Chains A and B, each alone.
Chain A
Amino acid sequence: MADLFSKGENPEYLFWVGCAGAFDDRYKKVVRAFAKILTHLEVSYAVLGKEETCTGDPARRAGNEMLYQMQALQVIEIFKMYEVKKIITICPHCFNILKNEYPDLGGKYEVINYLQFLNKKIEEGKLIIDSASLKNISVTYHDPCYLGRANDIYDEPRSILKKLTGNLVEMHRNKSFALCCGAGGGQMFKEAEKGDKEIFIERTEDALKTEAKVIATACPFCMTMLTDGLKYKNKEEEIKNLDIAELIAQSLEL
C-alpha cells in the first residue's frame, strides 16, 4: 500500500467510501467504478482507508443514539485531524447523516452526493458521456429514500441517465412517490417483521412492470434488495441491476 501514499498538497475532496463500499463484494465494484471516474476527471481526492469507520447511521436509525454519537464524534475528530472540508459520498445513508446530522455535533462540511457531483461535471462539460453503449437499452431508475424524499435529489440521476440512454422509463411509483426497497431504518440487517410479502419483491415488481433491461440504483442497500428481487423472480440473467457510477464507467470504457 505504501506506493499509494503520496505526499503533497491537501486533496480537495475526501471520498467517503462507506462500509458497504469497503466490504460488500457487489458494491465494491461500484466504488471501483466511481474511483475510476474520479481519476478520469483528474479530481484531487483521497480516501480515509483503514481509518474510515461507520458513520453510526444504522445504529441511529435503530434507536441507538449513544452508539451513533460515539461513532460520529470519532469521525469528526478524524476529519478535524485531516482538515477535511469537502466530502463526496456514494451511499445515500452516509450522505444524509454527514450532511444533515453531523452539524448538530459540530461537524460542518460541504457534503456532496456523487450524483450531484457527476451531474455538475457533465453540465460543466468536463465529463463527456458517449451514449453509444446504452443507446437503445431501456433503463428504469429506483429512487433511494435517502436521496429522494430525505434530501430532494430527484433530477440529477435522471439527467445523467438521459445522457446515457434515450430510453429512460419511470416506474409508476417514482420520485417522491417511490416505494422504499425495504432496507432502510436498520431493516437491511434484520429479517423483516411478519407480513404477507417482502418489500423488495413489491419494489422489484414495480421495476419489472416497466420492462426495462437495466434497473439503475444509487444506494448499496437498494442494490442488495433489488438484486435479490431479480434473483427471486429468476430475472437476473435478463435484467441487470447496475449503479449509475457503473453505467458511466462502462460508457467511458474505464
Chain B
Amino acid sequence: MTKQIIFTIALLITIGAFSYTINRIIGFFKLTRPAFPVKDFGKRINLMLTIAFGQTKIFRRPIIGFIHALVFWGFCVIIFGSIEMVIDGLTGSDRFLQFLGPVYNIIMATGDVFALLVAIAIIIFLSRRLFFHIKRFEGVEMKKITHIDANIALSIILILMISLLTMNIGYSEYKTLMGEGVVGLYPVSIFLAGFFIRGSAESFRLMYEVSWWIHILLIFVFANLLPYSKHFHVFLSVPNVFLSRLDPLGKLLNMDSITREVKLMLDPNTAFTASTTEAPVERFGVKDAEDASWKNYFDSLSCTQCGRCTSVCPANITGKKLSPRKIMMDLRARMKEKGPLMVKNGRDFNDNRSLLRDFISEEELWACTTCNACAKECPININQPTLIVDMRRYLVMEEASAPGELKAVFNNIENNGAPWQYSAEDRLLWTKDLEINVRIVQPFV
C-alpha cells in the first residue's frame, strides 16, 4: 500500500509538472500564425507509418540511421512495459498485462532484447559525441550547453536501459529461485544473469525492486526534462511528421494578404467596396518569433539538432554562415525568450530584440539557394526553406532591404518583364535564322 501511495504521489507530481510545461508551450503556439489546414488524414497516416515508424528518411545515412532506428523501434516496444509499470504502481497489481498471454511473452521478450540493443546504440552515440570528431555535431550554433544537453539525455536513456535489464534479471532470477513461475520471457536478461554471482533470492528481489523504482522514476524525470531539451523530439517527431506540409518541396505557400493588396492595385475600383473594418494588416513575412507559423514553431521544437540539414546545405558546405539547423534552433530560442513576455504583456510586446538580426543575420538568409537539400534530408520532415523565404519576405517587403543586385532584378522584372535588362521586343531573337517556323500564339477569333 505504501508503495502505491508513493507511486501515486510521484505520478501526480510528474503529470502536474508536465501539464504546466505543455500548457506554457500551448500558450506560445497561440502567438504564432496560421500555416496550412491539416487535411488528408490518409496521406498523413501513411507518412507517419513510413517516415516516422519506418524511419525511412533517417536511412538516408544507412549505418548510423539503422542504429537510430533500433533505438526508435526499441522505444516503441519498451513503452508497453512502462505502461504496465504505471498500472502496477497505481493498482498494486503484478504484471497487469500478463492476461495478454503469448502476446505478452512476445512484448516482454522483444523489449528485453531491445533494452540491450538500445543500450549498445546509446553507447555508440555517446562515444561519437565524446571521443570522435564528427563534423555534423559542430558549428557556431553548437554551444557547450547543447552538447551537455545531448549527453545528459543519452546518459539517462542508457541508465533507463540498464535498469530495465537489471530489473528483468532480478525478477526472473528471484522467481526462479523461489520456484515460482516467471511471467513473460526475458532471453537477454537470463543470458546476462549467467554472468552474475549467484545471490540469494532476497538479493535478487532487492535488485528487482530498486531497478523498478530507478527505471520508473527516471522515466518521470526524463519526461519532464524533455520539453526543455533537444530531446523533445522523443515526443514531437512522430506528430511533426504527421503534421508535415504535404505539398511538393518546391512549392512556397501563397501570401493571401499580398493577393488582396495586388488585386486592389490592379483593380482600384474594388478599393471603394473594400471594408475598412478589416482586421489590422499583419506584418508581411517573418521578423520575430510570433510572425512564424505554428508549423515553423513545431518544427523548431521537434528539431533534435542532428545537423543532417546543415551537412548537406550547399551554402554551409562552402563556408557560408547559413546553417539550416541554426535557423530552427534560433526560432526555438527566441520563442523561449520572448514567448513568456508576450504571454504576459500581449502579442505586441516589444523587447527591442528580434529573431531577425539578434539571432539570424541577413547574411545567413541571403546565402540560401532554396535548393531544399535540408528539408529533403530532415528525418522528421522539418521545412527550413519556407522560414528562410518568409524572413526574406519581411526584409524585402517591410524594409525594402535586399542585396543591390537583387533590387536590380526586381526593377528589371517590373520594368521589362525579365530579371535581366533586356527588352520584351527581343524575346524572339532565338528564332532568328532557325530552319523551322515557330508559331506564335495570337487571339483566336
Contacts and interface: CB of A to CB of B under 8 A. Distances in A.
A202 B318 contact: yes
Contacts of A184: 369-371
Nearest to B263: A73
Interface string A215-228: 00000000000000
B33 interface: no
Q: Which of B394, B424, B439 has the most chain A CB atoms closer than 10 A to its own CB?
A: B439
A70 B369 CA distance: 23
Interface stretch (A115-123, A131-139, A162-170, A188-196): A188-196
A17 interface: yes
B254 A185 contact: no
A174 to B, nearest CB: 12
Nearest to A69: B262
A189 B419 contact: yes
Interface string A32-71: 1001100100000111111111101011111111110111
A247 interface: no
B419 A54 contact: yes
B250 A180 contact: no
B292 to A, nearest CB: 15
A244 interface: no
Given A150-B372, A186-B409, A189-B419, A63 B389 contact: yes
B351 interface: no
Interface in B361-407: 363, 366-373, 375-376, 389, 391-397, 402-403, 405-406
Contacts, number: 259
Instruction: Give the interface size bracket for B toward A.
Output: 35 or more
B371 A185 contact: yes
A23 B418 contact: yes
Given A73-B262, A179-B317, A100 B403 contact: no
Nearest to B261: A66
B318 A197 contact: yes
A4 B427 CA distance: 14
Q: Which of B250, B265, B284, B319 is packed against the most chain A CB atoms within 10 Å?
A: B250
Contacts of A11: 439, 441
Interface string A168-211: 00000000110110111111111111111111001100000000
A155 interface: no
A110 interface: no
Nearest to B369: A184
Interface in A8-26: 10-11, 14, 17, 19, 21-23
14 contacts: A4-B437, A19-B418, A22-B430, A23-B426, A28-B429, A50-B427, A56-B413, A61-B392, A62-B410, A83-B444, A105-B259, A145-B250, A177-B60, A182-B314
Given A46-B438, A47-B428, A69-B255, 4 more contacts: A66-B261, A71-B413, A145-B371, A203-B314
